[in-house]
Structure 1
Amino acid sequence: MKDILSQAKAYLCVCLLLLIVGCKNNEGNYAKATNNVADLTSLYVGFLSKSIKNLNQMKGSSLASQKELYVNARKNFKLAEPILAFTDRNNYKSLNAPNIIQVKGEASKDTKVLTPIGFQVIEENLYEETIDTTVLNRAIKVTSARLKLVKDNVMLKLKDYHIVWLLRDEITRIATTGITGFDSPVLSQSLKESSYAYQTLIDIIQLNEHKFKNSKVKQDFINALQEAQVALSHEFNSFDRFSFIKNHTNKQLQLLIAIQKDWEVVFPFEMALSNNMRYLFGEDAINLSYFSDHLSDTTNLVDKIEFGKELFNDVSLSKNYNMACATCHVKDLAFTDGRKTFDENQTRNTPTVTYAAYQRAFFMDGRAGSIEGQVVGVVENHNEFNMSMDSVVSRVLSNDMYKTKIESLYANKRIDYNIRHAIASYIKTLNTFNSKFDRNIRGEENTLTNEEKFGFNLFTGKAMCATCHFAPVFNGTVPPNYKDTELEFIGVPQTTDTINAQLSSDLGRYNVFNTPERKHFFKTPTVRNIAKTAPYMHNGVYNTLDEVMEFYNKGGGAGLGIKNEYQTLPFDNLQLSQEEIDAVIAFMNTLTDQEY
């Protein structure tokens, strides 16, 4: 019961605790609020003000001056990023969003299609061969106004655990999106901008130096950030991201634990990132319960997982006693089935359920919000279990062993949910982070080849794979907050015909809410265990990773001549050599986990 109550408290209070705008200083068991609010506010407001000033000066300036002013505005935005992203996530997300339309409110039937704003929009328009001044000036005006709104409403009051969370978030953001080029689509200034963000972390530590009992802990952390800044002074495409994460990111995370011990920080709960995160690529890096259904509990969890595994493999849950979850999700194939589609009645390829726990949307079109909800979809699908949940409950209760487990493991009467919870609990164990790559980047072994390391550096750099497949899970759930699982339109063709390519007829997300701007959008899957999960894409059109890489290298559907308005790939084509393609594939092959 204690676990349930603490989890409920976490999800009900998270917004209040993280907003940190105008909150009162509460005395109690948690760490004291910082005594230097004015200095921190002054630092933050200064960055925002300089960014706004540079944006405002762009209007009416020459093109050369506009570009210089933009770079300065962006620099100050990135200096503000650690504080802005933590205290005002929604505005940060809007200001740093990619230059693609945003669709909001589908689930509530209050759908809004929003024109993007922010720095990426300005950057992409400012560096076009032919500039649409109307679009550019609107983006500048709206971005400046949004920043002014943020600045005019700043009231920071960060407690010690907030500061630690902020530091951990930014360290993770730099490693997972910052150094990948995610938000510098044209200038590729990501490495320099990551150095700016590190500088603000150094400033925050120095503003809080009075909290350190051990000055060495403070200096070790500052030194680590400064060493990372030196490493970031490098050309984008040739930057060694593998060594950076292994030698710098992991070190920073471990030193952050030393800080929270020195400050005697008491956390009220965990956010998406573990409060004791030591490695970016570790099993304990991301708080798995953060993704759980709010009705979940962790009592008797080991037994519930075993019960869920039995149900996962039981054909009696399907109408004709001929299909279990494991029928399509075969363990030896990383829980896929090796087929283009399971049978002639299915239209989509069977995805892996490994690492499925780290998502906010389920099924390829994102129509379910939890694994428990996905189970219902499988049960009720006429081409799958073809049952009702009431019928599944009846079959489970007719099994004496299952009935006993339901009664002993679950104290309530929500039997249909309990069944789904047990299956979900088992699926949530299929995330081992024990692949060859994981073991190497944690420093546990030194077995990666130069080609495999090169492939990772391409994947997270020039090839731009990691701008959609975010480390460390390599799926579309965006770190470090893990609030959103992205859906993309990449233009997957119906067949492998590259001469007369036709777009896949599957409308994807559109079929869920009939939003025209969501036609052919699909969830970004994990590439972990990808060596075992062929064929690829939602329709299984590609049998090999070479074919997948060729598709991306040409620029997705657009590169095949498929005309579309909403393709979301952040590039026209990749211009990768065959050697580079081979290296990316070699890296992806290192993401195969050991036995589950």
Structure 2
Amino acid sequence: MNIYLNFIFRAKTYTLSVCLLLLSISCINKEKNNTEETITKTDKLEKLYSNHLVMAYKYLDSIDITNNNDTNKKYYINSRTYFKKSEPILSYIEKENYKSLNSPNLIRIQEEDPTDIKINQPIGYQVIEENLFSESMDTLALSRALKVTSSRLKLIENNIDLNFKDYHVLWLARDAIVRIASTGLSNFDSPILGASLNESGYVLSTLNDVFTIYQNNFKNKDLLQKWKTELINSQKTLNTDFDSLDRYEYIKNHTNKQLELLKAIQEDWSIEFPFELALKNNTTSLFSKNTFNLEYFSDYKSDTIHLNTKIDLGKQLFNDKRFSIKNDMSCATCHIKEKAFTDEKITFNKHVKRNTPTLTYSGLQKSFFLDNRSGSLEGQIVGVVTNHDEFNADLKHIIEVVKRDKNYSKAFDTLYSRGATDMNIRHSIASYVRSLNKFNSKFDNNINGKENTLTEVEKKGFNIFMGKAACATCHFPPLFNGTVPPNFSESELEIIGVPDTKENKKLDDDLGRYNLFKTEERKGAFKTPSIRNIKLTTPYMHNGVYETLEQVMDFYNKGGGSGLGFNVPHQTLPFDNLDLSEEEIQAIIAFMRTLTDNHLDKNEAL
């Protein structure tokens, strides 16, 4: 009996051991397969990226400025093709390098340290393009650009390490989609050849390749096919000449659909993003109140608990004149809601000689005041409070005003952990200003498919704005200001040579950004404002010089200050003149008027 029991016990032990061994082997194989799959995806992605970079710099290295220029042009176009194919990954992981390699042929000025201002000569593809394809070639600048650009690409390629999570792939895809819609459709980075549409097709081709590598991530294989079909259809739409593309229809029918599919892919892959960047992770349109993550644009990284109550409190503070030392001025004194938060004055007064800009959509930028001297809304408020010609007070004064008011004091103690500090007060006001982004204009509602009321003239105006007129190379959609998509981390300054009167006889004497650091190359530099609600924000330009949009368009059509005969050595407009017809000008104006928020157009409460 004991022998029998012992046999049974050993048999069971042996069976259990075999089962455990098989389970262990199964787990090891599963882990190994998962590891191999991950490595395979990473390896394939790195190989794809590396190949694009290698081909880009090899073609650049083939350019010999002493040889036939037609051959050099072919080499350049081939190099540029591979550079754009690398763009989705390159621009995502090497933001500063990408910016240098693809920036306009303009000097780059770094003023972060006032004691060490740097003036950097441009490098990259646009420098090469403008020299190879222009009538006069600067061989020294071309030679330098070729050398530095190639070296930079080689350095990047030698240090590839794509340690991607799945959500990184979705982020880089979204960046690519937004970049095409906001800058790729306008020839922003191909001003001479005008090849942006074809190049955008190369970007979409790379996205197709990337998602092929990640095809096993898809639980829903139909979704993968829909995504690939959409990318192919978008490429076909872009395969046309620059003037013929209907940019309105492209964004409405392709950009929006791509963003919707990305959201579906996010859900299919069960993606959990660690945080949000400038764009919300679930955005399905560029022109929506739910497009932007407002916290990204704030200095104050607080939670969003009771945010609407903080906004309501900020609105009260915005309209309170007690913050000024004489109790005679509030934020609303200059920024009147019915006038799209401007004041319709040429300049605010004889001391403040600049036009009051709109506050609508102003929270969605990274620099403030017309000379970009503040880095946040919270910081801008300090400038207003302490300015002798505005509130003429200090931060201690605004704290005292709040603490003396029982309702204010109670509200801050309830809403903020430290109560009525100057930062919390400024955050509340800034939160209100950041809420002035309704995205409910006629244009927004039409491009989002909520209504079908745009006229053919208005659509034509948008297409000219984005295309022939090159307006969108400075006023980037969807904000139509100078904050550069898709990262929205920089608000650009431009030098356009604005006159001092509408007669266009003399250059305005306000030197803009130059007044801060005395950088010669910044003379006349001003921030590019949003043209949203432009119908309500007359007069126009930093000095309020023009009374009508027709006058503004005439200024640009003639080529800005340089076109008027002024000495503007560092003018940044990407054209000599536009050669727009009167019909085209009126179409652009018709489009710009569709950017009026509905509640402002109807004078509803905000």
Give the structure-1-normalised TM-score: 0.93
State the distance in 2 between where 1:350 and 1:97 align.
31
1:293 aligned residue = 299
Higher relative contact order (CA 8 A, sep 6+): 1
**Is 1:169 aligned to 2:175, yes or no?**
yes
Distance 1:34 1:350 in 2: 56
2:531 to 527, 539, 543: 527
| Inter-CA distance 34–205: structure 2 relative to 1 (3 Å threshold) | farther
Find the aligned partners of 1:443 and 1:89 in 2 and give their Cα distance: 33
1:585 to 583, 586, 589: 589
The corresponding residue for 1:486 is 492
- Rounded to whole Å, the distance in 1 between the matches of 2:509 and 2:245 is 40
- 1:159 is matched with 165
Determine if the alignment matches structure 1 residue 41 to structure 2 residue 46: yes
Provide Cα deviations, 1:189-227, integer angstroms capped at 9, x if missing partner. Answer: 010000000000000011111111111110100000100
Candidates 189, 208, 211, aligned match of 1:183: 189
Partner of 1:6: none
What is the deviation of 1:34? 6.5
> Offset at 1:231?
0.3
- Correspondence for 2:90: 84
Could you tell me which of 544, 549, 558 is aligned with 1:545? 549
Q: Quick one: which amino acid aligns to residue 522 of structure 1?
A: F
Give the letter aligned to residue 424 of structure 1: A
Say if 2:409 and 2:419, in contact at 8 Å, map to a contact too. no
AA in 2 matched with 1:37: T
Query: What is the CA deviation profile of residues 9-49 of structure 1, one whole-angstrom value per residue up to 9, with x for unaligned ones?
Result: xxxxxxxxxxxxxxxxxxxxxxx967411111111111111
| Residues in 2 aligned to 1:82 and 1:68: alpha-carbon distance in whole angstroms | 23
- Contact 1:33-1:160 at 8 Å conserved across structures: no
Which residue pairs with 2:286 in the alignment? Answer: 280
Equivalent of residue 388 in structure 1, options 381, 384, 394? 394
Secondary structure at the counterpart of residue 411 of structure 1 = coil
Secondary structure at the residue paired with 1:591?
coil
Q: Which residue of 2 aligns with 1:330?
A: 336
The answer on whether the counterparts of 1:34 and 1:160 sit within 8 Å (CA) in structure 2 is: no
How many angstroms apart in 2 are the aligned matches of 1:294 and 1:391? 21
Letter of the structure 2 residue corresponding to residue 162 of structure 1: H
* Corresponding residue to 2:463 among 436, 457, 462: 457
Contact 2:167 2:272 in 1 (8 A): yes
Stretch moving more, 403-412 or 293-302:
293-302
The residue type equivalent to 1:40 in the other structure is L
2:277 is matched with 271
Structure 1 distance, partners of 2:537, 2:566, is: 26
Indicate the SS of the match to 1:93: helix
2:212 and 2:309 map into 1 onto residues whose CA distance is 48
Q: C-alpha distance in 2, partners of 1:238/1:79?
A: 24
Q: Match for residue 9 of structure 2?
A: none
Structure 1 position 331, deviation (Å): 0.3
Shift of 1:261: 1.1
- Give the CA deviation at 1:156: 1.1
Distance change >3 Å, CA 313–CA 294, structure 1 → 2: closer
Shift of 1:322: 1.1
1:36 aligned partner, one-letter code:
K
Map 1:193-212 to 2 at 5 A.
193-212=199-218
1: CA distance between counterparts of 2:244 and 2:480? 21
Within a 5 Å distance, the mapping from 1:555-574 to structure 2 comes to 555-574=559-578
The verdict on how the C-alpha distance between 1:447 and 1:266 changes in structure 2, with shifts beyond 3 A counting, is: same
Conserved 8 A contact 1:34-1:158: no
Report the AA paired with residue 518 of structure 1.
Answer: R
- CA drift of 1:74 comes to 0.6
The percentage of aligned residue pairs carrying the same residue is 53
Q: After TM superposition, give the deviation of residue 555 of structure 1 in Å.
A: 0.6
Q: 2:59 maps to what in 1?
A: 54
5+ residue gaps, structure 1: 1-31
Q: Is the 8 A contact 1:34 1:159 kept in 2?
A: no
Q: Deviations over 1:561-584 (max 9, x none)?
A: 011221111111111111000000
Shift of 1:135: 1.4
| Other structure's SS at 2:598 match | coil
Counterparts in 2 of 1:202 and 1:408: CA distance versus 1, 3 Å = same
Deviation per residue, 1:118-165 (Å, 9 max, x gap): 001111111221212111111111111111111111111211000010
* 1:160 aligned partner, one-letter code: D
Shift of 1:296: 3.5
Q: Specify the code of the residue in structure 2 equivalent to 1:529.
A: N
Q: How does 1:14-25 map to 2 (within 5 A)?
A: none
The correspondence of residues 413-428 of structure 1 with structure 2, limited to 5 A, is 415-428=421-434
Q: Alpha-carbon deviation of 1:238?
A: 2.2
CA distance in 1, matches of 2:48, 2:494: 37
Match of 1:362 in 2: 368
What is the number of equivalent residue pairs in this alignment? 563
Shift of 1:371: 0.5
1:371 aligns with 2:377: yes
In 2, the alpha carbon distance for the partners of 1:570 and 1:219 equals 40
Hey, what does 2:153 align to over in structure 1?
147
Q: What is the CA-CA distance between 1:174 and the residue it aligns to?
A: 0.5
- Is contact 2:252–2:448 with CA below 8 Å preserved after alignment? yes
What residue is the counterpart of 1:231 in the other structure?
A: 237
Residue 518 of structure 2: aligned partner: 514
Q: Is the 8 A contact 1:34 1:208 kept in 2?
A: no
Give, in whole Å, the separation in 2 of the partners of 1:382 and 1:515.
25
Deviation readout 1:392-418 (Å, 9 max, x if unpaired): 211222222212222222221561111
Specify the SS of the correspondent of 1:488. strand
Q: Distance between the aligned counterparts of 1:554 and 1:375, measured in 2?
A: 37
The Cα RMSD (Å) is 1.2
In the alignment, is residue 65 of structure 1 matched against residue 65 of structure 2?
no
Query: What is the rounded CA distance, in whole Å, between the counterparts of 1:388 and 1:266 in structure 2?
Result: 44
- Give yes or no for contact 2:386–2:393 (8 Å, CA) kept in 1: yes
Give the conservation status (yes or no) of the 8 Å contact 2:353–2:543. yes
Matched position secondary structure for 2:594: helix
CA shift, 1:108, in A, is 5.7
Change (3 A) 1:425 1:227: same
Q: Does 1:505 align with 2:516?
A: no
- Answering whether residue 580 of structure 2 is matched by residue 576 of structure 1, we say yes
Q: Take 1:301 and 1:280, find their aligned partners in 2: how far apart are those partners? A: 23
**One-letter identity of the residue aligned with 2:432:** Y
SS in 1 for 2:105: coil
Query: In structure 1, what is the Cα distance between the partners aligned to 2:379 and 2:283?
Result: 29
Deviates more, 1:310-319 or 1:103-112: 103-112
Q: Distance in 2 between matches of 1:296 and 1:552?
A: 42
Q: Aligned residue for 1:9?
A: none
- The AA in structure 2 aligned to 1:365 is D
State the Cα distance separating 1:294 from its structure 2 match: 3.8
Do the aligned residues in 1 keep the contact of 2:181 with 2:251 (CA within 8 Å)? Answer: yes
Match of 1:470 in 2: 476
**Deviation digits for residues 448-502 of structure 1, max 9, x if unmatched?**
000000000011111111111111011111111111111111111111223xx32
CA distance in 1, matches of 2:417, 2:87: 46
SS in 2 for 1:581: helix
TM-score (norm 2): 0.91
Secondary structure of 2:266 counterpart: helix
Mapped partners of 1:295, 1:264: distance in 2 = 27
Give the deviation of 1:560 after TM superposition: 0.5
Tell me if structure 2 keeps the 8 A contact 1:106–1:513.
Answer: no
Matched, 1:243 2:246: no
Give the counterpart letter for 2:540 in structure 1.
Y
Question: Contact 1:296–1:421 (CA<8 Å) still a contact in 2?
Answer: no
